[in-house]
């Protein structure tokens, strides 16, 4: 994909925009070598289905298995670096009066790329909380138990992420719905757009007649509804879009 593939109408819409909202999913971190959520896992984890591990039921059944899976993923994230897609979004937040990056990712790569105007819908893999009362725990005594017990109440610790069937953090979801409802341009980047309520944010934007843009090498079910579907990797598309926008300003 090169600059000429970006429709001038999209650049014009961005030039005129006061308010931009961007929803991101696992695909934006694919070029940082973090496997997307639904792609087959590797090694020891190849035989597990991630949609079954990311549940309170799996944790209740086999807390060690779920804890170890998150530890494997924490190690992948710790070794990863933000890619040009993350960095382009960090630049974009400076170009608009109102901007919100709404991420489903738990990997902190947006923050490490410099994004500051963001909400995390599904928590953060680096944080740990008590499975009983939800209190975030920064450290705990060395133990041979996996998962370790909460230092305050002795219940099992768990990652501070949102599993299927659990509620999203209220402040993050409210902010995301408000930004999607009020934006002039809405981007959906690197998400399969199947997990609710994130997948429905685009409809809030459409109801406000926003220009909608999908960035995904594999067009989703929403691709034929959006104003512009950019079928390429976000690490290439977003920097080109940013360059075209900066050249036009
Ligand atoms: C690239 C690329 C490149 C590759 N560049 N792109 C309404 C209807 C039906 C069901 C529900 C509903 N409302 C709620 C539900 C239930 C459920 C749900 O949505 N189920 C669906 C599966 C149907 N939702 C929930 O339970 C949510 N809670 C909730 O709504 O509470 C109230 C409630 C509960 C129950 C019933 C009703 C109401 C909570 C959802 C929590 C999701 N949590 C996870 C795990 C987080 C922790 C962790 O990481 O382990 O979040 S699941 C997983 O999916 C993770 C992701 O954030 C999320 C989205 O996945 P994402 O990011 O889209 O990744 P992929 O892998 O699916 O897609 C990657 C994409 O990238 C692909 O399209 C590639 O093509 C693309 N790509 N390379 C750009 N280089």
If one compares 182 and 6, the residue with the highest pLDDT of the two is 182
CA–centroid distance, residue 151 to ligand 1 (Å): 31
pLDDT at 241: 97
Flag whether pLDDT at 39 surpasses 90: no
Residue 131, number of CB atoms within 10 A of its CB? 19
Lookup: tokens for 236: 């290439």
> What's the whole-number mean pLDDT along residues 183-202?
98
Flag whether pLDDT at 67 surpasses 90: yes
Flag whether pLDDT at 40 surpasses 90: no
pLDDT at 4: 52
Largest CA distance in the chain: 59
pLDDT at 249: 83
pLDDT at 2: 56
185-194 pLDDT, tens digit each: 999 999 999 9
Q: In this structure, are residues 50 and 38 in contact, taking their beta carbons and an 8 Å threshold?
A: yes
User: Where in 76-203 does DSSP place strands (E)?
Assistant: 98-103, 118-120, 123-130, 157-161, 185-189
The catalytic residue among 86, 122, 152, 171 is 122
pLDDT at 44: 86
pLDDT at 141: 94
Ligand 1 atom 39 nearest Cα: 164
CA-based torsion, 188, 194, 200, 203: positive or negative = positive
pLDDT at 43: 82
Distances (CA, A) of 234 to 32, 56, 66, 88, 147: 11, 32, 30, 9, 36
Lookup: tokens for 52: 């079954």
101-144 pLDDT, tens digit each: 999 999 999 999 999 999 999 999 999 999 999 999 999 999 99
> What's the whole-number mean pLDDT along residues 226-243?
97
Q: What's the mean per-residue pLDDT of the chain?
A: 96
2-35 pLDDT, tens digit each: 545 789 999 999 999 999 999 999 999 999 999 9
pLDDT at 123: 98
pLDDT at 5: 73
> Could you tell me where the DSSP H helices lie in the chain?
8-16, 50-53, 56-61, 63-79, 84-92, 109-113, 170-182, 201-207, 234-248
Please state the atom number of ligand 1 nearest to the C-alpha of residue 199: 19
Flag whether pLDDT at 220 surpasses 90: yes
Give yes or no: 122 in active site: yes
Of 35, 190, 219, 226, the one to substitute when testing ligand 1's pocket (max ligand atoms within 8 A of C-beta) is 190
Q: Lowest mean pLDDT: which of 41-50, 54-63, 76-85, 109-118?
A: 41-50
Lookup: tokens for 119: 């909400």
Q: In this structure, are residues 103 and 46 in contact, taking their beta carbons and an 8 Å threshold?
A: no
Of 23, 24, 26, the one to substitute when testing ligand 1's pocket (max ligand atoms within 8 A of C-beta) is 26
């Amino acid at each position: 994909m090169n600059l000429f593939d970006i429709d001038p109408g999209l650049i014009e819409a961005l030039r005129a925009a006061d308010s931009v909202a961007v929803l991101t999913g696992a695909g934006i971190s694919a070029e940082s070598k973090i496997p997307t959520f639904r792609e087959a896992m590797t090694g020891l984890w190849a035989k597990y289905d991630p949609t079954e591990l990311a549940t309170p039921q799996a944790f209740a059944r086999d807390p060690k298995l779920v804890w170890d899976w998150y530890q494997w993923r924490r190690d992948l994230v710790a070794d990863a670096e933000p890619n040009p897609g993350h960095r382009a979004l960090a630049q974009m937040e400076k170009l608009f009066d109102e901007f919100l990056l709404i991420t489903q990712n738990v990997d902190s790569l947006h923050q490490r790329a410099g994004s500051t105007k963001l909400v995390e819908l599904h928590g953060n893999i680096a944080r740990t909380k008590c499975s009983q009362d939800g209190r975030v725990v920064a450290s705990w005594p060395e133990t041979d138990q996996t998962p370790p017990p909460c230092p305050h109440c002795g219940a099992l610790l768990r990652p501070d992420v949102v599993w299927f069937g659990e509620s999203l953090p209220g402040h993050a979801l409210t902010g995301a719905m408000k930004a999607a409802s009020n934006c002039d341009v809405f981007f959906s980047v690197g998400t399969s757009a199947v997990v609710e309520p994130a997948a429905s944010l685009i409809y809030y934007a459409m109801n406000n007649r926003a220009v909608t843009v999908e960035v995904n090498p594999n067009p989703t079910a929403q691709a034929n509804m959006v104003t512009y579907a950019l079928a390429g990797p976000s690490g290439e598309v977003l920097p080109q879009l940013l360059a075209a926008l900066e050249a036009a300003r």
